[in-house]
Amino acid sequence: MLATTTAPPEPNMKFFVDTAEISEIRELAATGLLDGVTTNPSLIAKSGRKITEVIAEICDVVPGPVSAEVAATDYKEMLREAAVLKAIAKNVTIKVPLTPDGLRACHALSSEGTMVNVTLCFSAAQALLAAKAGASFISPFVGRLDDIGMNGMDLIADITQIYNNYPAIKTEVLVASIRNPIHLIEAAKMGADVATIPPSVIKQLYSHPLTDKGLAAFLVDWAKTGQTI
């Protein structure tokens, strides 16, 4: 029987935050737990600011990859917009849609050393194409698959299995459209490289009723001692 070779696991799952709100990013970056940021046209629109200003400010706060998405749908215009976004900072990752023109742009950009995040992935076949195009990250959307009655985590399992079969694939699995902590934990069990998480879900990760209960009991008992440190 032939031995199965798999790529070595990352030292730790990377946590990106999925937002364009600089106040939220600053708060999370201060914890030391944030590895990067993802944005998209909807998040930029919600911020009410110019994309170049938002991305520049985020890159000043977070040294890790910051995804900035092109709005164009044709190859040449994607590259023109990518040039504008790349010029903002060295840690900008160009985000392109998983379309023929998007994959062509991914190949061109990655060939010149630019980090590329291929987004709106909904099948393992699409993920394989993105890897062949040289994507730095592939973003499968688990929550949106759940919304239409499918199990989004099945897609993560398929992609990680396929990528692990081919050690030459360097594309990182970036789990997107995370709706709850369970999505994150299941993705980590499957060996996904990155999770991009809304701020509200990141805050849920801290919470457990037994932690709160235990801390309250400790504080009551400590107060009884009359001591200070």
Active site amino acids: 95
Beta bridge partners of 93: 67
Beta bridge partners of 15: 195
- How far apart are the C-alpha atoms of 194 and 184, rounded to whole Å? 9
Cα→Cα distances 188→12, 71, 153, 219, 223, Å: 9, 31, 11, 34, 39
Q: Provide the CB-side half-sphere exposure for 93 (13 A, CA).
A: 25
Q: What SS3 state is found at 148?
A: coil
